[in-house]
A and B are shown apart, each in its own frame.
Chain A
Amino acid sequence: MAIGAGRRVAGLTPEETLRYHRQIILPQVGPAGQERLKHASVLIVGAGGLGSPAALYLAAAGVGRLGVVDGDVVELSNLQRQVLHDTPSVGRSKTESAGRRIARINPDVRIEEYPVRLDSGNAMSILDGWDVVVDGSDNFPTRYLVNDACVLLGVPFVYGAIFRFEGQASVFAHGDGPCYRCLFRDPPPPEMVPSCAEAGVLGVLPGLVGTIQATEAIKLVLGIGDPLVGRLLLVDTLAMQFREVELRRDPGCAVCGDAPTITELIDYEEFCGGAAAPSAAPVERPSVPEIDVEELRARIGVGQPPRILDVREPHEWRISNLEAYGARLVPLGQLQDVLDELDPAEDVVIYCRTGHRSAIAVQQLASAGFEKALNLRGGINEWARRIDPSLPTY
């Protein structure tokens, strides 16, 4: 029993001393550390799966100023993992929902809400002046943007990313340590990027990775322990293994290297090969032949229509499908098993939700000798948007 209620510790009020008692009695924190937290500021990019637990724990730990950047509204399908938000918040802005929740957990925290999508125009002003940034974004353009802005501003950031049952975490742009670009110089081609909406994610996984990010942010503020600088932590929840690999700063890195070529923010949608300028994408695209939804509709009407394969999962087929045009459901994992039933000389059009899995399927068919397989660009969601609005998108 170290500190009694009512005894004022340094610059902490009696109530604060009580609230944070369990961490003040840690020798590595102490009253001085708690005061550091009180005067610290952490900006969380993305109030989603990773940002949720990070915000909850940073608020509870007494970080004095918390910023939250997110341009989205809370959706019902977020609640399975985005524990910052609750059912009554569905339809509200995520930053507003986050602000209300944080205020209930710890009214002493000053909250700054940025209900916008981070972009090259606003990033420098939003990210400037924070002690630590926590990156919980959910797309590559924002990840490269956060990295470059943090390197240029000299603000360390705690990286976390998740996919299905697996996650990654590290600390970038800290001292002489590496940055995100040192690890991943190029973004993957957009066709190779399944999102959580496409691929699914175990709800607990961002809970694990986001709390690791909060831990690292607190360690950085307090200056204690060994931060994940120069190390990438790999979390595999199915095997339940935590492994780490060693990272080094790349002297040739475009933003933190010895002769940087990126000295101000660039167009990150274009850099990542997004819709803004796909032809300008500086990354190799898989040479998967495609067909767009208008072309497919035209070909269904005349002559010998192509065979249509749906490589999604059965529950997705129940949401929407092209059965009316003869589509057959063959989940991607079973494609190899049905090759015998298909004719390599026949025209085949393959679709999935948005075109990622079907691109893999077309690759697989091509390597099995099917030269006339085509990927439906944009998937069934694009079909629903442009051809048949009676179909739901998801």
Chain B
Amino acid sequence: MIVTAGVSGLPRMTVHVPAPLRELTGGRDRLHFEARTVDDVLELIRETEPLLAGRLFADDGSVRRYINLFLNGADLRHLEAADRTVSRDSVLSIVPSVAGG
């Protein structure tokens, strides 16, 4: 069965949580949200995943500069309003800086 929308009727998109941040999501590597735009997704993260939100966002609400968010591979900082809509296939990738070598 393919779930295209949840009870809200909005598309159910996916957030990829990278390994370094999974301690903040209880080990979950995928989060799903029903939302219309990526900005709604960020708001839902703030509401439902406070630990993760604390790591992603600075006090002024901006994304911290050692973490990048990409919607379907495109940097959120460069996305025009029209491209901020999410669909069922949308993936928000959280890309933190890691130094291991």
Distance of A137 from chain B, by nearest CB (Å):
5
Q: Is the CB of B61 closer than 8 A to any CB of chain A?
A: no
For chain A, give the interface size range.
35 or more
Residue of B with least CB distance to A201? B100
- Give the interface centre of A46, A51, A164, A184 by most chain B CB atoms within 10 Å: A184
Please state if B73 and A243 are interface contacts (CB–CB under 8 Å). Answer: yes
Residues of A within 8 A of B93 (CB): 234, 243, 245
Also in contact, A161 and B23, with CB within 8 A (given A184-B66, A367-B50): no
Bound form: Cα–Cα A180–B50 in Å? 29
CB under 8 Å from chain B, chain A span 183-230: 183-188, 192-196, 199, 201, 206
CB under 8 Å from chain A, chain B span 72-101: 73-75, 78, 93, 95-101
Also in contact, A363 and B51, with CB within 8 A (given A162-B100, A184-B65, A244-B73): yes
Bound form: Cα–Cα A51–B66 in Å? 24
Residue of A with least CB distance to B59? A284
Residues of A within 8 A of B95 (CB): 168, 232, 234, 245
Residues of A within 8 A of B54 (CB): 363
CB under 8 Å from chain B, chain A span 140-166: 140, 143, 160-166
Distance of B65 from chain A, by nearest CB (Å):
4
Residues of B within 8 A of A163 (CB): 18-20, 98, 100
Contact of B23 among A168, A195, A360 (CB under 8 A): A360
Q: Is the CB of B27 closer than 8 A to any CB of chain A?
A: yes
Interface of B is mostly: mixed
Please state if B73 and A137 are interface contacts (CB–CB under 8 Å). Answer: no
Q: Is the CB of A332 closer than 8 A to any CB of chain B?
A: yes
Please state if A248 and B78 are interface contacts (CB–CB under 8 Å). Answer: yes
Contact of A245 among B20, B55, B74, B98 (CB under 8 A): B74
Please state if A332 and B101 are interface contacts (CB–CB under 8 Å). Answer: no
Residues of B within 8 A of A284 (CB): 58-59, 64
Bound form: Cα–Cα A347–B93 in Å? 38
Q: Contact string, A343-381, partner B, CB cutoff 8 A, digits 1/0?
A: 000000000000001001001100100000000000000
Bound form: Cα–Cα A193–B20 in Å? 9
Please state if A137 and B99 are interface contacts (CB–CB under 8 Å). Answer: yes
Q: Is the CB of B37 closer than 8 A to any CB of chain A?
A: no
Could you give 15 example pairs across A and B, Cβ below 8 Å?
A: A48-B101, A136-B101, A140-B99, A143-B99, A162-B101, A164-B19, A166-B18, A188-B96, A192-B55, A195-B99, A196-B100, A201-B100, A206-B101, A284-B59, A363-B54
Given contacts A140-B99, A184-B66, A357-B23, 12 further A-B contacts (CB under 8 A): A48-B101, A139-B99, A162-B100, A166-B18, A166-B98, A184-B97, A186-B65, A188-B96, A192-B66, A234-B93, A238-B29, A245-B70
The 9 closest A-B pairs by CB, nearest first: A138-B101, A185-B65, A163-B98, A186-B65, A245-B70, A188-B66, A184-B97, A162-B100, A164-B19
